Amino acid sequence: MLKMRANRKLCFTVAVLVPMSFICFHVWNKSDKVVAVWNREAPEDVLDTNLLQPLEKYAGISLKWKDEVLELLPKNNCKCEAEKTLNIPFRQELLGKPYSRNFTAAMEPSRIDETHKRRELEYKNFKMRSYNPTDRIIIAEANSPLQYPVQGVEVRPLKTIIIPGLSLLVLEKKNNYEVSLSCTIGIFDVAAEVDSVTIIGAGEKQMTLSSSLLNNLNRQLQLISYTNTVFHPNTADTVQFQSAGHTGTFTIKVRHPVVPKLYDVGTSKSAYNISALVTIATKTFLRYDKLQDLIDSIRKFYPTVTIIIADDSEKPQKVEGPYIEQYLMPFGKGWFAGRNLAISQVSTKYVLWVDDDFIFCPRTKIEKLVDVLEKTSLDLVGGAVREITGYYTTYRQKISIIPGDKEGDCLKTHQGYHHVIEGFPNCVVADGVVNFFLARTDKILKVGFDPRLSRVAHLEFFIDGLGTLHVGSCDDVIVDHASKIHLPWSKTKTDKEYSKFRYPKSSSASNTQQELFYFKNRLKCMTGN
């Protein structure tokens, strides 16, 4: 009798303390900060013709324009015309035939205007997402006495620009004023030659300008051109601007423009056309009964959304149905390899990742996750997974890399999040989330999934994406998790075979994880809770 009472007390204690501990932990890890993560307005990428216009105090200074330099400057009026070439024997066989293609020629005229509007709306969103504050031109006003741009100057590889903001501010009068410029992977020139200014080194890496008239010298500085001469798709040149013992240093970014990757979601009367915006991706192995339950549940709410399945079963079963794509893999190829395969076939703007034993319910509102990604700078937003016990998990993680020594850095993970998202009270910003998330297809492909992680992995993806992915989590979008409780006598042959692969007894999977952390991520240790 005493033993039974003791057991009852123990059960009661566990039943009370466990939920209370979860509540306390949630409170302790909760951030009261609410931060707006809306998209920023990006500047229009139009050539600033004002760079060639003189200030009022320089308006009377005469100059002579250099057409050969002006021709090199970007004009933002490109035309798709086939280049004229010399008519020489065998020219076409040796060099190919010049051609010009207009991409609207294949479109129906009635579709062009409407398609153009959709494209420009997507392009505007793309620019807001890809814009970085360091792209903005900032001029350091003369106080050294040099004035020069501190950031935001950019040139295409092997192209030419006018350097904005160069000036010399000298209060005391001198007989001669002199400045010099030097760089490493380009040359300087002038778009026009200003009267009474001496130029030495035009067309070279080092150029010196001098004049007895300060205004003339400053007018000439407004017309300095820079041409990149060493090809690299993404680098920078360091420019030194000097005068009378004073030195200013700034960088010129040398890079191709980011090519937009826009997704045409078509037209829809509803707020979001989920079938055009989202593809659902999953990876399966042996569990076709659970996979079918997942598909059936999806079809209750989203009958026309494409489902992509990566399958590495030894004897794959064909999964058929409208808007279903099944891709077969080598037997036992693995979890992350399957993720790579499935997501590589996505052609929509967003991909929703689900495990094959999830079940959609009325609270699995993809539209809510789409709304978050459309209205914020987030790249990925997770939901919540409800277990059969009724417990919800979001697996919110804060991840940080602590600088270390020659042995490597330290990885720290903590359960919790950074702040609440303004406008979305149920959503927060974190570094890692649960295995149920909606992501921008292009960003998730950029990070990828390491195929060497074959059976046990999840947080590794978010560690690889640290610094690349802006991650969020919303606990009001919920998917159910099929029961993991199996009585020993109720396990089927498939269940036993799945468990053998999913939970291997050997430590090889753990060793692989640790070796990848050590070598690939240059980490020496990991701590967390």
Per-residue model confidence as pLDDT tens digits over 213-247: 999 999 999 999 999 999 999 999 999 999 988 99
Inform me whether the pLDDT recorded for 6 exceeds 70: no
More confident residue, 399 or 520: 399
User: Which residues are registered as beta bridge partners of 162?
Assistant: 225
Report the alpha-carbon distance of residue 414 to residue 186 in Å, rounded.
47
pLDDT of res. 22: 45
Q: Of 343-347, 489-493, 507-511, which gets the smallest average pLDDT? A: 489-493
Inform me whether the pLDDT recorded for 310 exceeds 80: yes
What is the CATH number assigned to the segment(s) 52-75+133-255?
Answer: 2.60.40
Spell out the residues 6+ positions from residue 165 whose beta carbon is closer than 8 angstroms to its own. Answer: 137, 139, 140, 147, 148, 149
Inform me whether the pLDDT recorded for 487 exceeds 60: no
More confident residue, 308 or 23: 308
Give the confidence band of 308 by pLDDT, cuts at 50, 70, 90. Answer: very high
pLDDT of res. 211: 96
Report the alpha-carbon distance of residue 205 to residue 184 in Å, rounded.
7
C-beta separation of 43 from 138 below 8 A: no
- As a whole number, mean pLDDT of residues 68-74 equals 83
Which candidate, 75, 68, 79, places its Cα nearest to that of 45? 75
Q: Where in the chain is the domain with CATH 3.90.550.60?
A: 263-485
How many CB atoms are located within 10 Å of the residue 412 CB?
Answer: 15
pLDDT of res. 417: 95
Inform me whether the pLDDT recorded for 490 exceeds 60: no
pLDDT of res. 23: 46
What is the CATH number assigned to the segment(s) 263-485?
Answer: 3.90.550.60
pLDDT of res. 421: 95
Inform me whether the pLDDT recorded for 18 exceeds 50: no
Q: What is the mean pLDDT of the chain?
A: 84
Give the confidence band of 507 by pLDDT, cuts at 50, 70, 90. Answer: low
More confident residue, 503 or 173: 173
What are the CA-CA distances from residue 288 to residues 95, 301, 313, 315, 447 (Å)? 55, 21, 10, 11, 29
The proportion of the chain whose per-residue pLDDT surpasses 90, expressed as a percent, equals 50
Q: What burial class does residue 252 get, using C-beta atoms within 10 Å of its C-beta: 0-12 exposed, 13-18 middle, 19+ buried?
A: buried
Give the confidence band of 518 by pLDDT, cuts at 50, 70, 90. Answer: confident
pLDDT of res. 172: 85
pLDDT of res. 14: 46
Which candidate, 347, 356, 373, 368, places its Cα nearest to that of 298? 356
- As a whole number, mean pLDDT of residues 322-343 equals 94
What 8-state DSSP symbol labels residue 54? P
What 8-state DSSP symbol labels residue 79? -
- As a whole number, mean pLDDT of residues 170-174 equals 87
Inform me whether the pLDDT recorded for 270 exceeds 80: no
- Please report, in angstroms and rounded to a whole number, the separation of the first and last CA atoms in the chain: 39
Which candidate, 259, 286, 265, 470, places its Cα nearest to that of 381? 470
C-beta separation of 148 from 139 below 8 A: yes
- As a whole number, mean pLDDT of residues 40-51 equals 58
pTM for the predicted model, two decimal places: 0.77
- As a whole number, mean pLDDT of residues 89-111 equals 69
pLDDT tens sequence across 403-429: 888 788 888 888 999 999 999 999 999
- As a whole number, mean pLDDT of residues 309-328 equals 94
Give the confidence band of 453 by pLDDT, cuts at 50, 70, 90. Answer: confident
pLDDT of res. 365: 96
Q: Where in the chain is the domain with CATH 2.60.40?
A: 52-75+133-255
Q: Of 198-202, 213-217, 395-399, 455-459, which gets the smallest average pLDDT? A: 455-459
Q: What is the dihedral of CA 102, 103, 105, 107, to 10 degrees?
A: -170
What are the CA-CA distances from residue 196 to residues 37, 213, 214, 223, 241 (Å)? 53, 7, 10, 15, 21
- As a whole number, mean pLDDT of residues 300-310 equals 97
pLDDT of res. 255: 93
pLDDT of res. 207: 98
pLDDT of res. 100: 65
Amino acid letter, residue 215 = N
